């Protein structure tokens, strides 16, 4: 069964996008993980599935899956890519994405430049979620991190020298304090308007960029009084501009979206 897919990326955080708006392809977690494998499959950080929207005002329902097959409520870089894909398919400059974390408004600012309203952060311990009632601004973990949710769990360590995320990332991703695991951000403040970030992502490992991680990191940095509400986030793959808007508590994320290629894959060769 030959199925088309789009290969896309946001700052090198890459995706396979499959469109199930008219037909289902039996995309189980096992099949998604096999397709996401960089040696035996197509290869990607996240696998994105489009479904018909079922909430009023939404243009499409988008589901995000990590390379290990686990599902996430949010994926900022992929959200920008889906918005650009809708534009390529004849949509206008504005679209609304239905996600597990809520409705996201997206706007094409210029070709390949997209702003997504990621909605408000969730800052309570149950929201992240954490395993017990704890102040999310100072977690009882070495390095005194903060935690926040952008529809997915993020823990942020503020440091002067960024470590190799491969060293501490895997254990922190699965720390007992995070019952749904966590995306682990390592951030260095450069000024009131800029920070450097590397993220060990839940279910995918180190990526070149993490959109929801950039949002959560700016939120946590503002909460700590370290940066202003509009901040540039520099990651290995490039930079995003994040604004945590005081007027409505929403977090806006602006950055690129790229279609690398379109392909087809025979799903019969992958486990169901
Ligand atoms: N690994 C994340 C999902 C992808 C997030 C990242 N790629 C982004 O751009 O937000 C999680 O399991 O919550």
- Each residue's pLDDT expressed in tens, for the chain with a length of 272 residues: 899 999 999 999 999 999 999 999 999 999 999 999 999 999 999 999 999 999 999 999 999 999 999 999 999 999 999 999 999 999 999 999 999 999 999 999 998 899 999 999 999 999 999 999 999 999 999 999 999 999 999 999 999 999 999 999 999 999 999 999 999 999 999 999 999 999 999 999 999 999 999 999 999 999 999 999 999 999 999 999 999 999 999 999 999 999 999 999 999 999 98
Domains 2-118+257-269 and 146-249 share a fold: yes
> Could you tell me the distance, in angstroms and rounded to a whole number, from the CA of residue 136 to the centre of ligand 1?
20
> Could you tell me the distance, in angstroms and rounded to a whole number, from the CA of residue 248 to the centre of ligand 1?
24
Q: Is 44 a catalytic residue?
A: no
Burial 90-121 (b: 16+ CB within 10 A, else e): ebeeebbbbbebebbbbbbeeeeebbbbbbbb
Q: What is d(CA 212, CA 152) in angstroms, rounded to the nearest whole number?
A: 8
Sequence ranges of the domains in the chain: 2-118+257-269, 146-249
Residue 257 CB less than 6 A away from ligand 1:
no
Q: What is d(CA 202, CA 56) in angstroms, rounded to the nearest whole number?
A: 31
- Which sign, positive or negative, has the C-alpha torsion 233, 103, 247, 222? negative
Domain 146-249 CATH class label: alpha beta
Residue 77 CB less than 6 A away from ligand 1:
yes
Domain 2-118+257-269 CATH class label: alpha beta
Residue 201 CB less than 6 A away from ligand 1:
yes
């Amino acid at each position: 069964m030959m199925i088309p897919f789009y290969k896309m990326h946001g700052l090198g955080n890459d995706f396979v996008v499959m469109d199930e708006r008219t037909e289902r392809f039996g995309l189980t977690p096992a099949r998604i993980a096999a397709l996401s494998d960089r040696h035996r499959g197509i290869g990607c950080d996240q696998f994105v599935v489009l479904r018909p929207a079922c909430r009023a005002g939404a243009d499409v329902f988008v589901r995000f899956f990590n390379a290990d097959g686990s599902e996430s409520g949010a994926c900022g870089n992929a959200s920008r890519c889906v918005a650009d894909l809708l534009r390529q398919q004849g949509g206008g400059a504005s679209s609304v994405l239905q996600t597990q974390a809520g409705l996201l408004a997206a706007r094409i600012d210029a070709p390949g430049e997209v702003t997504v309203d990621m909605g408000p952060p969730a800052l309570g311990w149950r929201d992240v979620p954490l395993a017990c009632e704890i102040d999310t601004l100072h977690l009882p973990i070495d390095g005194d991190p903060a935690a926040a949710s952008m529809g997915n769990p993020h823990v942020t360590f503020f440091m002067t020298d960024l470590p190799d995320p491969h060293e501490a990332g895997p254990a922190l991703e699965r720390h007992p304090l995070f019952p749904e695991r966590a995306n682990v951000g390592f951030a260095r403040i450069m000024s009131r308007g800029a920070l450097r970030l590397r993220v060990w992502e839940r279910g995918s490992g180190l990526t070149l960029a993490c959109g929801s991680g950039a949002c959560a990191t700016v939120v946590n940095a503002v909460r700590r009084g370290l940066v202003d509400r509009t901040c540039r986030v520099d990651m290995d793959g490039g930079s995003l501009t994040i604004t945590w808007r005081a007027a409505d508590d929403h977090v806006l994320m602006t950055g690129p979206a790229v279609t690398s290629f379109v392909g087809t894959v025979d799903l019969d060769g992958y486990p169901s």
